[in-house]
Amino acid sequence: MKAIIAVTFSALIIIFWIWAVSDILRTRFKDSVMKPLWVLIVLVFPFFGALVYFWVKRHLVMYETREFDPDEEF
């Protein structure tokens, strides 16, 4: 029983870590240095780095929408 709980808990931590790394790689940050810095933090401190990232993410991200005009010429 303890092994099942340990495996389940470990799998959840790994999924949380993968989710954090993929979110970091897809996110547009206000400062260009933040993306590699957060990847490094999450790689060195997998669970706590991801936890802190999701906690402070709203202050670091650009939420401006990109406008798309299909009629615009390059």
pLDDT per residue, tens digit, the chain (74 aa), is 889 999 999 999 999 999 999 999 998 888 889 999 999 999 999 899 999 999 998 887 776 666 776 776 66
Neighbouring-strand partners of residue 61: 29
pTM of the prediction? Answer: 0.73
Is 70 domain-assigned?
no
The total number of structural domains in the chain stands at: 1
Is 71 domain-assigned?
no
Residue with tokens 């989710």: 19
Task: Give the pLDDT confidence score for residue 70 in this predicted structure.
Answer: 73
Is 72 domain-assigned?
no
What does the alpha-carbon distance between residue 74 and residue 2 come to, in Å, rounded to a whole number?
61
Q: Is 20 helix (H, G, I), strand (E, B) or coil?
A: helix
Is 69 domain-assigned?
no
For residue 22, the enclosing domain spans 2-60
